[in-house]
Amino acid sequence: MNDEVKLQAFEARINAGGTIEPKDWMPEGYRRQLIRMISQHAHSEIVGMLPEGNWITRAPSLRRKMILLAKVQDEAGHGLYLYSAAETLGIERSELIEQLLTGRAKYSSIFNYPTLSWADMGTIGWFVDGAAIVNQTMLAKCSYGPYARANLRICKEESFHKKQGYEIITVLANGTPEQKIMAQEAVNRWWKPSLMMFGPGDKDSPNSADLMKWKIKLKTNEELRQRFVDLTVPQAQAVGLTLPDPELKYNDEAGHWEYGALDWQEFFEVISGHGPYNRERMKARREAHRQGEWVRVAAEAYAEKRKMLA
Amino acid sequence: MPLSSSNDTQWALWEVFLQEDEGAPHIHAGSLHAADAEMAIQNARDVYARRGPVKSIWVVPSEEITATTPQDNDSFFDPAEDKVYRHPQFYKVPKGVRGV
């Protein structure tokens, strides 16, 4: 079979709702797009540990500290099984990590903003994990089996992340005046960057057409963003916090919340490494990798020694 | 100087199978890297079994798995396609008879 015939069969299978597995024939573009997308997703989980790790030692109670530790550990786990899913496409994890540490790989823009107060932990859980769930629920149905299964596993764990964040915000919003102000400030800072997590509109999104055609993505960036807004506005109202958008209003006819324009120039700057915290994040990742080297070497030496004793 | 060398975090690949309930089959969950079997079990617990329910974990070196090839599926599984007499629906039973 020549590639043209294979491609037709491949696309017919995807259009019929089929699932592609690692050993199946796939066009190079599909493989490339998946490696790009899954590795970006994995990097985001790994870098995403940093803004929260910042607050583990400063959590306001032992309960909150245990929860935050568990959440950050989940993110490490998500990163690891996403790297595994990417490896099924014939690329090695060490190469992906190399791409991240040398600054050649992209990851979600949201993690390049600083976490200034404890309320940021609540807001990140509520907004950032909430947005991630909207995205990953879709990805759990994508056409590539290993990625779909990884997202299914992630979604099961991610719902606790969102809930614990919303709980933090609820407590602060019902607390002292200072606490309520702290919650509102965090919401003001994180709202628009969270909306931009879904990426630009599809005409400005260079990969969207391929991703939709091959059912790697099943919904457009705009559809996902709208779903997130519709879910989140009532949640903000329920705890008496406002979202920082004067243009936010409910459209009765459409049954959706309309929201104001987003600053895509800021988004592209952050994505290309010029966000408020890109440099710190990469520095922290590189340091962690260096400081972990003795552990990797020791694990190898230990495995060697056990082999000799066996 | 590369930030990670080739032997850096790139140990052998292992496939992880989880049993979620007593009596249930072990089902493939994903894969991971580990220097040996003991580390693979530890990592499998940390990566794939942070919350229940997990009753048992198997880890298998990925290179030890032999699998069918998708290209040969048609001819390979063909013998199973056209033997209707292997299914109970193929058989007629006198009306009113139960438990056959």
Chain B closest-CA separation from residue A98 CA (Å): 6
Q: How confident is the model at residue A16 (pLDDT cuts 50, 70, 90)?
A: very high
Residue A220's Cβ-count burial label (10 Å; 0-12, 13-18, 19+) is middle
Nearest to B28 by CA among A97, A121, A146, A102: A146
Residue range B68-82: mean pLDDT, rounded:
85
Residue range A9-29: mean pLDDT, rounded:
96
List the single residue in A101, A157, A306 with the smallest CB-CB distance to B36: A306
Chain B closest-CA separation from residue A294 CA (Å): 11
Residue range A257-272: mean pLDDT, rounded:
94
The percentage of residues in chain A with a pLDDT greater than 70, rounded to a whole number, is: 100
Chain A closest-CA separation from residue B24 CA (Å): 19
Chain A, nearest residue to B4 by Cα: A98
Chain A closest-CA separation from residue B4 CA (Å): 6
Q: Does B57 touch chain A (CB under 8 A)?
A: no
For residue A289, list chain B residues with Cβ-Cβ distance below 8 A. Answer: 3-4
pLDDT above 90 for A22: yes
Say yes or no for a CB contact (<8 Å) between B29 and A153.
Answer: yes
Chain B, nearest residue to A92 by Cα: B10
Q: Which residue has the higher pLDDT, A17 or B6?
A: A17
List the single residue in B3, B33, B67 with the smallest CB-CB distance to A23: B67
Tokens of B46: 């940390």
The winner for highest mean pLDDT among A126-130, A208-212, B77-81 is A126-130
The winner for highest mean pLDDT among A253-257, A295-299, B72-76 is A253-257
Residue range A73-89: mean pLDDT, rounded:
96
Say yes or no for a CB contact (<8 Å) between B38 and A157.
Answer: no
- Give the Cα separation of A294 and A277 in Å (integer): 28
Say yes or no for a CB contact (<8 Å) between B36 and A85.
Answer: no
pLDDT above 70 for B8: no
pLDDT above 70 for B2: no
The mean-pLDDT minimum among A6-20, A258-272, B2-16 falls in B2-16
pLDDT above 70 for B60: yes
List the single residue in B9, B38, B50 with the smallest CB-CB distance to A94: B9
pLDDT above 90 for A84: yes
List the single residue in B3, B11, B69 with the smallest CB-CB distance to A102: B3
Residue range B48-58: mean pLDDT, rounded:
93
> 0.85 exceeded by the pTM?
yes
Handedness of CA A79, A132, A106, A10 (dihedral sign): positive
List the single residue in A77, A84, A302 with the smallest CB-CB distance to B50: A77
pLDDT above 50 for A107: yes
pLDDT above 70 for A72: yes
Mutate to test the interface with B, among A13, A93, A95, A305 (most CBs of B within 10 A): A93
Say yes or no for a CB contact (<8 Å) between B50 and A286.
Answer: no
Q: How confident is the model at residue B9 (pLDDT cuts 50, 70, 90)?
A: low
pLDDT above 90 for B63: yes
Q: How far apart are the first and last CA of chain A?
A: 49
Tell me, what's the pLDDT at A6?
94
- Give the Cα separation of A224 and A218 in Å (integer): 10
DSSP characters over chain A? --HHHHHHHHHHHHHTT--B-TTS---HHHHHHHHHHHHHHHHHHHHTHHHHHHHHTT-SSHHHHHHHHHHHHHHHHHHHHHHHHHHTTT--HHHHHHHHHTT-S---GGGGS---SHHHHHHIIIIIHHHHHHHHHHHTTSSBHHHHHHHHHHHHHHHHHHHHHHHHHHHHHTS-HHHHHHHHHHHHHHHHHHHHTT-S-GGG-TTHHHHHHTTS-SS-HHHHHHHHHHHHHHHHHHTT---S-TT-EEETTTTEEE-----HHHHHHIIIIISTTHHHHHHHHHHHHHHTHHHHHHHHHHHHHHHHH-
Tell me, what's the pLDDT at B3?
44
- What mean pLDDT is reported for chain B? 88
pLDDT above 70 for B59: yes
Tell me, what's the pLDDT at A207?
82
Q: Does B33 touch chain A (CB under 8 A)?
A: yes
pLDDT digits (tens, 9 = 90+) for A196-252: 999 998 777 778 888 999 999 999 999 999 999 999 999 999 999 999 999 999 999
Q: For residue A193, what are the contacts with CB-CB under 8 A and spacing of at least 6?
A: A109, A110, A113, A270
Q: Does B32 touch chain A (CB under 8 A)?
A: yes
Say yes or no for a CB contact (<8 Å) between B36 and A98.
Answer: no
- Give the Cα separation of A86 and B23 in Å (integer): 32
Tell me, what's the pLDDT at B72?
87
